[in-house]
Chain A
Amino acid sequence: MPEIKITRSIDLKTAGPFVALIALFILGAFVNDAFLSSGNLSNILARSSFIGIVAIGATFVITAGGIDLSVGSMAAFISGCMILIMNSLMDKIESLPVLILIAIFASALIGAAAGCINGLLTTKAKIEAFIVTLGTMGIYRSLITYMADGGTLSLNFTVGDVYSEVYYGTLLGVPYPVWVFLCVAIIGYVLLNKTVFGRHCFAIGSNEKVALYSAIHVDRVKTMTYILQGICVSIATIIYVPRLGSASGQTGVLWELEAIAAVIIGGTMLKGGYGRIWGTVVGALILTLIGNILNLTDMISNYLNGAVQGIIVIAAVYLQRGAWRKRAPT
């Protein structure tokens, strides 16, 4: 019986990001003993969870041949909304957990709606995703700056104290954000690889016309990917807000590029048609690791941080594309 096998080149893509991740771990351990301390490792995981969760959403969008540049501003905007909602309902709702749940629910709703807008503008209004999301990126960024009066929105301290448990609390010694990240990754993996919806994302990203002629609701599936992306942004926001309890025009700046970088490092194809959730998770970890390792050493001039990041990102993708294997004799 013939086996369902994916072609060889894709196997290389599986290995590449992990090789890069392991290399970075070895480098980190070499640079500083503190790197492998449980405190530092849990910091890295918790930190990667924002970009990681956003990037899992982006994996769907990119696999289905789209792109979403608005995620960073959307995160800032949703953070702002959550803070305003909690601050204004403070006097009306006594139970703080209920208040926080309302904000979380609102966040998911706004995220899904924002994603839906991106999706419908792309599929129904037939505007390129790049332009649509570039536009919404500017809109959300302005809105948060306007909401904060150019300054910073701060969460009321009483609510903040209760809510901060969501970021700083742990279960079995592991911070909550890491659990959330893990759950989102598992759900994302199942959705992308085990369901009809995921298969349809692959098909649409490979060739939209073939997808259409294969009785796939192309517009519906594409819009769904943007909604998923919006929900992922909102989940990231729900664990981001309790960290510092504030949102400003600077919140989430360049998250979109970091998320896209994580997705691509992980082996998802930027032109669509192939996506890997675990690759994306590894990609997000790699990006966080680079920053962490640079902070743990003073060997490299601060001014060169960007260069080091650039080199590592390119190297990771180089490994992932498997170009290095072609040179080796087989």
Chain B
Amino acid sequence: MPDTPPHRTLFTAKSLTKSFGEVRVLSNIDLQVNQGEVLALLGENGAGKSTLVKLIGGYETVSGGLLHLANEAGELRPLNSDTWKHATAEAQGVILIHQELNLAEQLNAVENIFLGNEIRRGPFLDKHRMLELTREYLSILDCDIDPLVPVAQLSVSVKQMIEIAKAYAKNSRLLILDEPTAVLTAKESEALFQLIDRLTEQGVAIVYISHKLDEIERIADRVVVLRDGELVGDYDAKTLTKDDMARLMVGRELTNLFPVATPPNATSEVVLELKKGAVPGLISNASFQLRAGEILGFAGLVGSGRTALMEAIIGLHQFSKSSELLIRGKSVSFSSLAAARDAGIAYLTKDRKGSGLLLGMSLPINFSLFSLHKFSNGLINTKKEQEAFSEAVDTFEIRLKDLSISAGNLSGGNQQKLLLAKVMAAEPSIIIVDEPTRGIDIGTKSQIYHFIANLAEKGHSIIMVSSDMMEVIGLSHRVAVMCRGQLVGILEGEQKQEHEIMRYAAGLESQLTQEGEKASA
């Protein structure tokens, strides 16, 4: 055991609040982190975990509340929230390793690990010493690479290990890891856990974010659960099972925000079927059917391959040869988005600003862009275009005093409605919506749910990719769950429960093995 007694408080947060503009993402968080312990942060996507650790690491400024950090003597001292930047934080031993890797790609492992923290001998760099230390760190992490090649040539998982070595080199007191194992193999993860054990023995405190519940069971001492920006519980890890954790993350009543669309019956036509969908490097196995009038939800963690799968269906990625996509029973393969559109399939992107709307252009131009061929017989019929736009403004309740502004000046909600109008102008029968309500207010959300339900009632088929559990469960007839590039299960009826979905999404449960056995039988 180390000299310093464990469980002495290293860091505390009191009534911590964070708002972006008028949107409050964290409210009244009280948190305590002790020396030598691993604190796991649990929560759904968007619960506020990443924001919380960014506040602690000095990457975001605190909107309200107090932070305290122990000094060398172990006395808690308040931090000035205005000057708490990541450089100050790192100098004090508080280090955050991001989800997104942060390495200088053209530099090698040694240079990255000691970047901004170089060891000098006189005015010169002590390259020999740095190389020696790098080798030592990498061997602790069981990472057998040449530390002198540019990191650009290394795999993502090795880069992650270098990030961790870099944090280790900085003599951290509080190390925050935001989903570090998302890109690591099982073996690499195990090396990381051993390093964590070693660090905690030395009295270092770890804050650990992961969706992989078995990992949390393996390393966490304490579990703190966040939900919708609030801290809902602080538990001793020993008292929790993985199922408990999944339930705690969700723990919410569904409201009647959601209209009920009549579910399709067994005789409804299968409009889209994917058999053994696979895209090299993105999707390994996804099979499902979509019926006329059905709303099929797609749940899963960020990076589970949902968007990639949808983009493959509309022709942006190529399926591998063994896959088969059937539209109304006919095998198809779209070479472009236009081909998919002409077959009646439309995709509504989750990235409104980046790939949905031309922000500098007028609303009618945005509206007609996806279906411009319909307004043209050689020349664009602007009168027809204008009439269709006016109609869409009514249908989709785009409420604006001035319709001559450009799309970039619309609110998020109106942008989403415009995007929906744009896609619907092509009169598709199958509509794939990806995160349709991300970042918009509850009122507009409700409107959009009603549009979607209405479309289904009229016989359109809808695939809704969403990370918002409430809407996936509330609106969908069935929920397909993806995990690591696989469609691991389709839940309906009683099974369509949040903790159940979470178990599939986290990889604890899968319908695939049974089917695999069936197939081989």
Residues of A196-238 whose CB lies within 8 A of B? 196, 199-200, 202-203, 206-207, 209-217
B360→A213 contact, CB < 8 A: no
In the bound complex, residues from chain B placing their C-beta under 8 Å from that of A212 are: 316, 337, 355
Q: Does B61 contact A (CB under 8 A)?
A: no
A206→B370 contact, CB < 8 A: no
C-alpha spacing A273/B369, complex, angstroms: 14
In the bound complex, residues from chain B placing their C-beta under 8 Å from that of A215 are: 336-338, 340-341, 370, 426
Q: Does A194 contact B (CB under 8 A)?
A: yes
C-alpha spacing A199/B382, complex, angstroms: 12
C-alpha spacing A3/B382, complex, angstroms: 10
In the bound complex, residues from chain B placing their C-beta under 8 Å from that of A214 are: 337, 369-370, 422
A7→B405 contact, CB < 8 A: yes
Name the residue on A nearest B316 (C-beta): A212
A200→B372 contact, CB < 8 A: yes
* Cβ contacts A1-17/B at 8 Å (1 or 0 each): 11111110000000000
Known interface pairs A196-B372, A215-B337; A207-B358 also in contact (CB < 8 Å): yes
C-alpha spacing A200/B358, complex, angstroms: 11
How many residues belonging to A are interface residues under a CB distance threshold of 8 Å? 28
C-alpha spacing A18/B404, complex, angstroms: 25
In the bound complex, residues from chain B placing their C-beta under 8 Å from that of A210 are: 354-358, 369
Name the residue on A nearest B347 (C-beta): A213
A1→B386 contact, CB < 8 A: yes
Name the residue on A nearest B380 (C-beta): A194
A209→B354 contact, CB < 8 A: yes
Most A-side CB within 10 Å, residue of B351, B364, B372, B387: B372
C-alpha spacing A194/B382, complex, angstroms: 9
C-alpha spacing A217/B365, complex, angstroms: 17
In the bound complex, residues from chain A placing their C-beta under 8 Å from that of B356 are: 210, 213
A203→B393 contact, CB < 8 A: no
A2→B393 contact, CB < 8 A: yes
Q: Does B88 contact A (CB under 8 A)?
A: no
Q: Does B373 contact A (CB under 8 A)?
A: yes
Q: Does B31 contact A (CB under 8 A)?
A: no
In the bound complex, residues from chain B placing their C-beta under 8 Å from that of A194 are: 379-380
| Chain B nearest CB, measured from A140 CB (Å) | 33
* Cβ contacts B361-405/A at 8 Å (1 or 0 each): 110110011101100101110100111011001000000000111
A2→B336 contact, CB < 8 A: no
Name the residue on A nearest B379 (C-beta): A194
Q: Does B406 contact A (CB under 8 A)?
A: yes
In the complex, which of the residues A1, A195, A206, A274 contacts B379, with contact meaning CB atoms closer than 8 Å? A195
C-alpha spacing A217/B373, complex, angstroms: 12
Residues of B49-95 whose CB lies within 8 A of A? none
Q: Does A254 contact B (CB under 8 A)?
A: no
B355→A202 contact, CB < 8 A: no
In the bound complex, residues from chain B placing their C-beta under 8 Å from that of A1 are: 386-387, 390
B360→A206 contact, CB < 8 A: yes
Name the residue on A nearest B402 (C-beta): A2
C-alpha spacing A212/B390, complex, angstroms: 25
In the bound complex, residues from chain B placing their C-beta under 8 Å from that of A211 are: 369
Q: Does B287 contact A (CB under 8 A)?
A: no
In the bound complex, residues from chain A placing their C-beta under 8 Å from that of B368 are: 199
B349→A199 contact, CB < 8 A: no
C-alpha spacing A213/B362, complex, angstroms: 18
B365→A3 contact, CB < 8 A: no
A195→B378 contact, CB < 8 A: yes
In the bound complex, residues from chain A placing their C-beta under 8 Å from that of B316 are: 212
A216→B338 contact, CB < 8 A: yes
| Chain B nearest CB, measured from A60 CB (Å) | 16
A6→B336 contact, CB < 8 A: no
B373→A196 contact, CB < 8 A: yes
In the bound complex, residues from chain B placing their C-beta under 8 Å from that of A196 are: 372-373, 376, 380
Most A-side CB within 10 Å, residue of B358, B382, B389: B358
B372→A2 contact, CB < 8 A: no
Residues of A96-118 whose CB lies within 8 A of B? none
| Chain B nearest CB, measured from A307 CB (Å) | 35
C-alpha spacing A4/B364, complex, angstroms: 7
B337→A213 contact, CB < 8 A: yes
B361→A206 contact, CB < 8 A: yes
C-alpha spacing A195/B381, complex, angstroms: 9
In the bound complex, residues from chain B placing their C-beta under 8 Å from that of A216 are: 337-338, 369
In the bound complex, residues from chain A placing their C-beta under 8 Å from that of B382 are: 4
B358→A203 contact, CB < 8 A: yes
In the bound complex, residues from chain A placing their C-beta under 8 Å from that of B369 are: 199, 203, 210-211, 214, 216
In the bound complex, residues from chain B placing their C-beta under 8 Å from that of A323 are: none
Most B-side CB within 10 Å, residue of A6, A202, A209, A215: A215
C-alpha spacing A206/B336, complex, angstroms: 20
B355→A190 contact, CB < 8 A: no
Most B-side CB within 10 Å, residue of A6, A199, A211: A199
C-alpha spacing A148/B358, complex, angstroms: 48
Known interface pairs A196-B373, A199-B369; A7-B404 also in contact (CB < 8 Å): yes
Residues of B405-457 whose CB lies within 8 A of A? 405-406, 422, 426
| Chain B nearest CB, measured from A277 CB (Å) | 15
C-alpha spacing A196/B378, complex, angstroms: 8
Known interface pairs A2-B403, A190-B379, A215-B337; A202-B357 also in contact (CB < 8 Å): no
Residues of A169-206 whose CB lies within 8 A of B? 190, 194-196, 199-200, 202-203, 206
C-alpha spacing A3/B376, complex, angstroms: 19
| Chain B nearest CB, measured from A37 CB (Å) | 40
Name the residue on A nearest B383 (C-beta): A4
C-alpha spacing A149/B379, complex, angstroms: 48
| Chain A nearest CB, measured from B399 CB (Å) | 12
C-alpha spacing A199/B404, complex, angstroms: 18
| Chain B nearest CB, measured from A220 CB (Å) | 9
Most A-side CB within 10 Å, residue of B360, B386, B390: B360
Known interface pairs A1-B386, A213-B337; A202-B361 also in contact (CB < 8 Å): yes
Known interface pairs A195-B378, A215-B341; A3-B404 also in contact (CB < 8 Å): yes
In the bound complex, residues from chain A placing their C-beta under 8 Å from that of B373 are: 196
Most B-side CB within 10 Å, residue of A4, A5, A217: A4
| Chain A nearest CB, measured from B311 CB (Å) | 9
In the bound complex, residues from chain A placing their C-beta under 8 Å from that of B336 are: 215, 217
Known interface pairs A7-B405, A209-B354, A215-B336; A195-B361 also in contact (CB < 8 Å): no
In the bound complex, residues from chain A placing their C-beta under 8 Å from that of B370 are: 214-215
C-alpha spacing A273/B362, complex, angstroms: 12
B380→A195 contact, CB < 8 A: yes
In the bound complex, residues from chain B placing their C-beta under 8 Å from that of A195 are: 376, 378-380
Known interface pairs A195-B380, A213-B349, A215-B336; A4-B362 also in contact (CB < 8 Å): yes
Name the residue on A nearest B378 (C-beta): A195
| Chain B nearest CB, measured from A111 CB (Å) | 24
C-alpha spacing A83/B404, complex, angstroms: 53
Name the residue on A nearest B358 (C-beta): A206
| Chain B nearest CB, measured from A14 CB (Å) | 15
Q: List 16 A-B contacts (CB under 8 A).
A: A1-B390, A2-B389, A6-B362, A7-B362, A195-B379, A202-B358, A202-B365, A206-B358, A207-B355, A209-B351, A209-B354, A210-B354, A210-B369, A215-B340, A215-B341, A274-B360
Supply 6 further A-B pairs (C-beta < 8 A) apart from A199-B368, A206-B360, A209-B354: A7-B362, A195-B378, A196-B376, A203-B365, A212-B316, A212-B355
5 tightest Cβ-Cβ pairs between the two chains A and B? A2-B403, A5-B404, A215-B337, A209-B355, A215-B338
Which residues of A are at the interface with B, using a C-beta cutoff of 8 A? 1-7, 190, 194-196, 199-200, 202-203, 206-207, 209-217, 273-274
